[in-house]
Amino acid sequence: MSETLQLKFGEKIPWVMGEVIRIPKVKFPEAREGSLSLPTPGKSLILILTYVFLFYLVLGGIYIGIRDTVTVGGDAQGNAIFLYPTTNEAFIIESLVAGFLIYIAGLGFLLLYNATKHSFNYGYAIKIYILGAFLAFAGFSILQYMIGVKSGKIET
pLDDT tens-place string over residues 100-138: 898 899 889 989 988 988 888 888 999 999 999 999 999
pLDDT tens-place string over residues 66-110: 776 666 676 677 777 777 777 777 777 788 888 889 889 988 998
Angle in degrees, CA 33, 36, 39, rounded to 5: 150
Report how far residue 142's alpha carbon sits from residue 122's, in angstroms, rounded to the nearest whole number.
30
Which pLDDT value is given to residue 44?
A: 72
70 neighbors 92 (Cβ within 8 angstroms)? yes
pLDDT band at 38 (very low <50, low <70, confident <90, very high): low
Q: What percent of the chain is predicted at pLDDT more than 70?
A: 66
Report how far residue 10's alpha carbon sits from residue 24's, in angstroms, rounded to the nearest whole number.
16
Phi, psi dihedrals of residue 151, rounded to the nearest 5°: -85, -10
Mean pLDDT over the full length of the chain: 76
> Could you state, in order of their start, the residue ranges of all structural domains in the chain?
59-151
- The pTM score is 0.61
28 neighbors 119 (Cβ within 8 angstroms)? no
* 106 class by beta-carbon count within 10 Å (0-12 exposed, 13-18 middle, 19+ buried): middle
90 neighbors 81 (Cβ within 8 angstroms)? no
> Virtual CA dihedral for 29, 31, 35, 41, nearest 10 degrees?
10
* 128 class by beta-carbon count within 10 Å (0-12 exposed, 13-18 middle, 19+ buried): buried
Mean of pLDDT values over 139-156: 85
pLDDT higher at 33 or 89: 89
Report how far residue 120's alpha carbon sits from residue 67's, in angstroms, rounded to the nearest whole number.
52
